[in-house]
Structure 1
Amino acid sequence: MSIAAKLENLGVTLPDAPAPAANYVPFVRVGNIVYVSGQISKDDDLITGKLGDDMGVEAGAAAAKVCAINLLAQVKAACGGDIDKLVRVIKLTGFVNSTADFTAQPQVINGASDFLVEALGEAGRHSRSAVSAAALPLGVAVEIEGIFEIQ
């Protein structure tokens, strides 16, 4: 099954690739590798909050899934609009807006990892880092950057 069909079966419609918010590009392609800039937890609205304070792990994981969808939107743009040119997810780096004593960053970023494996199967399995941040842009709960292989 194609990636586009699998996403449709999951009820996921990729948004237009978000434009950068500052002086950088949303992705850089080097050969068949695409480096995607950090994508924040934003769908129709910003998903803000601080894990360990006013947001729980489940809500944080949902925010991370939104980041993963935004990452795929950037990959689709890098592929000229054809998400089926995605070969695999190589690595994610997830940043979690969290309190100093919050230690469940991996469970939060699982929201992105689990979604990518569900949507892409083995091609969605990746290496990963999940780290705490004292604050993130616009107060968002999660930001994730990624490295992808494309055709």
Structure 2
Amino acid sequence: MSIENRLSQLGVTLPDAPAPAANYVPYVQSGDLVFVSGQISNDENGLILGKLGATMDVAEGAAAARRCAINLLAQVKAACGGDLDRLERVIKLTGFVNSTADFTDQPKVINGASDFLVEALGDAGRHSRSAVSAAALPLGVAVEIEGIFQIR
């Protein structure tokens, strides 16, 4: 089954790949690897703002991280010339969580992205990962995630 069909079964339609917000490119391809710049938490309603441990709980943060993963896949699709089936596997995610100094559940928040990628891609979605706290993120978003992907 194609990746796009699997996403459709999950009720997910990939947005157009978001344009960069500053002086950088959204992704760089080197050989069969695609390095995707950090994707911030946003959806069809706009930015997902908040600070874990203050204004958001883990479930809300995980939902924001899931949206970051959807945006990552949109960038990979763009890198693949629109053919997401060229995606071989997710190599690594680095997740940044806008959180208070005493919040320690960053891994549970980033699980929102990891769980989604495994659900959508099966074993090809399993990846290495870091989940770290940030005192603040661009525009006040809750989560930002960057990724490395292998393509054909």
Note whether the superposition's TM-score is higher than 0.5. yes
Partner of 2:40: 40
Residue type of the alignment partner of 1:84: D
TM-score, normalised to structure 2's length? 0.99
- SS for the counterpart of 1:87 is strand
The one-letter code sitting in structure 1 at the alignment partner of 2:20 is P
Could you say which residue in structure 2 is the equivalent of 1:9? 9
The 5 A counterparts of 1:58-77 are 58-77=59-78
Superposed CA deviations along residues 16-56 of structure 1, whole A, max 9, x for unmatched, are 00000000000000011000000000112100000000100
Q: Distance in 2 between matches of 1:84 and 1:16?
A: 17
Q: Tell me the C-alpha RMSD between the 2 structures.
A: 0.4
1:142 matched to 2:143? The reply is: yes
2:94 alignment counterpart: 93
CA distance in 2, matches of 1:63, 1:56: 11
Q: Which runs of 4+ in 1 moved over 3 A?
A: none
Distance in 1 (alpha carbons) for counterparts of 2:25 and 2:50: 26
In the other structure, the counterpart of 2:54 is 53
Structure 1: distance between partners of 2:86 and 2:136: 34
The amino acid across from 1:32 in the alignment is D
CA distance in 1, matches of 2:18, 2:2: 23
Provide structure 1 residue ranges, at least 5 long, that are not aligned to the other structure: none
C-alpha separation between the residues in 2 aligned to 1:87 and 1:76? 12
Paired residue secondary structure (1:70): helix
CA deviation vs aligned residue, 1:114-139 (integer Å, no higher than 9, x gap): 00000000000000000000000000
- Matching residue of 1:24: 24
Secondary structure at 2:42 match in 1 = coil
Matches of 2:151 and 2:109 in 1, distance apart?
26
Look up the SS of the partner of 2:36 in the other structure.
strand
Figure out how many residues of one structure are paired with residues of the other and give that number.
Answer: 151
Identity of aligned residues (%): 80
